[in-house]
Chain A
Amino acid sequence: MIRAILGPLMKNMPFLFGIGFLAPLTKEVLVLSHVSLGVPPLAIGLVIGGTWGAFATWKGRWI
């Protein structure tokens, strides 16, 4: 049971990390540095964090 829940969770952890941490972190950095791209900063954060996390999940590496 635990394995069935945690297996997929751990496998997709880089993507979750991208959404759960990198996205709001990117938003905070954008807000603090007064960068405006005409899109809500959180949306940019979600795109960057989500894409980067998805890449790390797919490739098994962040860089």
Chain B
Amino acid sequence: MNTSTVTLPDNLSALSSQELMRLEKQIADQFMGGLPWGSICWGLGNLVVWLSLWPLTLSGILPLWIAFPIATLNVMLSYLPSHEAQHRIIAQEGDKLFWLNELVGNLSTIPMVLPYEVARLTHLEHHKHTNDPELDPDIGTKAKGPWHSILNSIRNRQPGSKAGAAYGATLQRLGTPAAERAGLIALVFQLSYLAILFTLAWTGHALVAALIWWLPRHIAQTYIQFYLSWAPHHPGTETGRYRNTRSFRSVVGNIGSMGMQFHIIHHLYPRIPLMQTPAAYWALKPVLEARGCQLDGL
């Protein structure tokens, strides 16, 4: 893990806003770059494990009660590697390894039935309009507290939910050819997912389909919306670079919350790899304090 080599002045409050920004960028720059092998192996390895559960359970080699928690963990783990790709952290367009970026981005979210292009376009809108009640596609996860967040997540997945249709609405608002294509891919994904579930169910494998995909996906969506969306943006009332996201101390620790304790770093510098955000946070903390960020006990 990187450590900062930038020496901070004794009194940050004596610095002008521009000087503070220069210092902030100087520190942040040290944590960017390099190939995030951890996220690449995580994304592809996680998919391989999840895919292997199908033949193992359908052939009776692996009991469903063992496969179910593994599948749930797989779906929970499937989003973040794609998130690295969405921000071109693995490689940027024109780089030799851009294909790897797109491979991880496209493959890792298959268990979630979330097409990469939909995730990328809507996520970039989330960064652009964080906490904006009209324009942030993730504003529907805003909730009064943890239990309300879980209830809200379930409510947002109901067929008639407006918040549940937010990604589709965002793609429509964007109206670009890429957004139109993403909408079409989302439809193909959704129909394919349902066709696979229905086929498995009517051929005598309904429980396998339910415990390897359908139920794990619901549990994972609740978890992801809780830790990746609600918790780091709570209370979700402010906009602006230093106030739209926070750091927080999670009861399940940094691994249990998938690094989201340090999500404020991601919003300030989206190109810093996930696994570098804790070190970047500790190095930047005095600057964040000087900027009046919400650091909530971390």
- Give A contacts to B, CB under 8 Å: 6, 13-14, 16-17, 20-21, 23-25, 27-29, 32, 56-57, 59-63
Contacts and interface: CB of A to CB of B under 8 A. Distances in A.
B201 A13 contact: no
A20 B209 CA distance: 12
Given A21-B194, A32-B207, 17 more contacts: A17-B194, A20-B194, A20-B197, A20-B201, A23-B201, A24-B202, A24-B204, A25-B206, A25-B210, A28-B204, A56-B158, A57-B159, A59-B160, A60-B161, A61-B159, A61-B160, A63-B158
Contact of A24 (B158, B159, B206): B206
Nearest to A19: B198
Nearest to B155: A61
A62 B201 CA distance: 20
Contacts of A28: 204, 206-207
A62 B207 contact: no
> Of B154, B155, B206, B210, which is in contact with the most chain A CB atoms at under 10 Å from its CB?
B206
Nearest to B187: A6
B214 interface: yes
A17 B202 CA distance: 12
B198 A20 contact: yes
Interface residues of B, number: 18
Contacts of A59: 160
Nearest to B157: A62
Contact of A13 (B158, B159, B209): B159
A62 B161 CA distance: 11
Interface string B184-196: 0001000000100
B16 to A, nearest CB: 53
Nearest to B198: A20
A25 B207 contact: yes
A24 B204 CA distance: 8
Contacts of A56: 158-159
Contacts of B155: 61
A60 B206 contact: no
A27 B194 CA distance: 18
> Of A6, A24, A60, A62, which is in contact with the most chain B CB atoms at under 10 Å from its CB?
A24
A14 B202 contact: no
13 contacts: A16-B198, A20-B202, A21-B198, A23-B201, A24-B201, A24-B202, A25-B207, A27-B206, A28-B206, A59-B160, A60-B158, A60-B160, A61-B161
Contacts of A61: 155, 158-161
Given A6-B187, A13-B194, A21 B158 contact: no
Contacts of B214: 21
Contacts of B161: 60-61
A63 B159 CA distance: 10
B15 to A, nearest CB: 53
A14 B158 CA distance: 10
A50 B145 CA distance: 35
